[in-house]
Structure 1
Amino acid sequence: MTRRQGVVLYGPPASGKDTVTAALTQLRPEYRQFARLKVGSGKSAGYRMGTAEQLRALEAAGGVVYANSRYGNTYVLDRPGLDAGFTAGVPVVHLGQVAGVRALIDGYSAADWLLVLLWCPRATTAERSAGRGDSDTTARLAAWDATREDLEAHPGMAWDLTVDTTQASPQDAARLIDQLLAQRAGAATA
C-alpha cells in the first residue's frame, strides 16, 4: 500500500506559503491547504476557528500533534484535522517552526511528508507584508527573525527542496514540488 503524501511548507512570514499553495491547487486540485485549528482572534480565513475548551478536549484525547502560540493566538495541528485533510486530498501544511515540522513528521507518521523550505530576505517580508495590508508587520518581522534563528539552531534539518521565492515563481515552485512528490510515489511503488 502506498503511504499517503503530504507537503510541508516551512518559512518565515510572507515567504510565499499561501501563494505557492495556490499555485499547487491550480496545478492539481488534490492539493489543499491544511486549515489549522486557531484559538484566538484576528484573521479567520484559512483556519478552523476553535475555542479554548475545544483545545483542552483535543489535548485530553491525545489529538494535538503540535501547537504553537504567535500573534496572541494558538495554532494547532490536530490529528482529526489531518485525517480529514488526507481524506480530501494532499494536505499542504504551513509551518514556521522546526519543532512543528519535527512534531508533524514524528507525531503523524502515517504519511510521507515532503519538506519544503521557502525563503525570502527580511526586507522582502517587510515589503510583502506592507503590500498585502498587514497591520502587524513589526510582529511578522520579529517572526522572520525567529525563523532565521530557528534554522540556525537546527542546521541538520533535512529539506527535500529549498526555494528562494524572490528567484522562483510560485508556479515553478509548485511544479518542482509536484514532480518531487510524483518521484517519491513512483519510488515507493517500484
Structure 2
Amino acid sequence: MSSKKLGVILYGPPAAGKDTVTRILAELHPRYGQFARLKIGSGRSVGYRMGTPAQLRELKAAGDVVYANSRYGNTYVLDRPALDAAFAAGVPVVHLGQLAGIRALDDGYPADWLVVLLWCPREVTAQRSAGRGDSDTAARLAAWDATREDLDVHPGTTWDLIVDTTATSPQDAARLVDQLLAQQAGAATA
C-alpha cells in the first residue's frame, strides 16, 4: 500500500447496498472500515457516532466540518478529526447520498478517493427497505428521488466504478472495489 491516503466513497440511494458491500469489503481485508459519520438527531445509531448540537458547533468553530447534510430530520457530518482517525486505522469507506458530499471530500480532504456509484431502481429500494423493517420507507423513497434528481442535475460526475446492485452480487461488487483500489494504490506508488 502506498503512503498516500486511499479511501472509498460509496454513493447511491437508500438500500442500494452500501452497508452490505462495506461489510463484505471488511471481510475481504481488515484494512477496510465503514466511516462512522457524526449524527446529530435520533433514530438508528448503528454505523454512526451519535453527537450533540454543541459538538457540531465546536467542529464548525474549529473549521473541522468537511461536509454536513440534513436528511430524515437529522444532521450527518463528515469531520476532519474522525477522517484522520479512520485513515490512521486503514481505508475508510464513506457512504454518501449527495454529490455535494463527494465534491466536499474531494476538495476538502487530501486523499485519493475511489468513487463508486451503487445503484438500484426505486422499486427495489422500496422492497429492500420494507424487507429490512425500516419504519420510514416513504422517507427513504423521497431520498431515492433526491438522489436521482442530484444525478440528473449534475450529470458530469466521474465514477471510478458503477454497479447495478440488482445485476451484481454484493460479493462481486466488493471484489471489484478491492481490485480497483489495489490498482489505484499501485498507480500511486509508480
Give the shorter-chain TM-score range.
Answer: over 0.9
Take 1:145 and 1:82, find their aligned partners in 2: how far apart are those partners? 28
| Pairs within 5 Å for 1:11-50 | 11-50=12-51
Runs of 4+ in 1 over 2 A off after TM superposition: none
> What SS does the aligned partner of 2:168 have?
coil
Does structure 1 residue 92 correspond to structure 2 residue 93?
yes
Identity %: 77
Following the alignment from structure 2 to structure 1, what is the Cα–Cα distance between the partners of residues 7 and 186? 15
Q: Find the residue that maps to 1:6 and give its secondary structure.
A: strand
What does 1:36-75 correspond to in 2, within 5 Å?
A: 36-75=37-76
Distance 2:26 2:7 in 1: 13
* TM superposition score normalised by structure 2: 0.98
> How far apart, in 2, do the equivalents of 1:175 and 1:75 lie?
28
Instruction: Provide structure 2 residue ranges, at least 5 long, that are not aligned to the other structure.
Output: none
Structure 1 CA distance for aligned equivalents of residues 79 and 27 of structure 2: 26
Letter in 2 for 1:101: I
Partner of 1:148: 148
Q: What secondary structure does 1:158 align onto?
A: coil
| Structure 1 counterpart SS, 2:54 | helix
TM-fit CA distance, 1:2: 3.1
Report how many aligned residue pairs link the two structures.
189
Q: For 1:103, give the aligned amino acid.
A: A
Partner of 2:3, secondary structure, is coil
Q: Please name the residue that 2:117 is paired with.
A: 117
List aligned pairs for 1:70-85, cutoff 5 A: 70-85=71-86
Aligned to 2:136: 136
Map of 2:106 onto structure 1: 105
Letter in 1 for 2:77: V
- 1:90-143 Cα distance to aligned partner (Å, 9 max, x none): 00000000001100111002x100000000000000000000000000000000
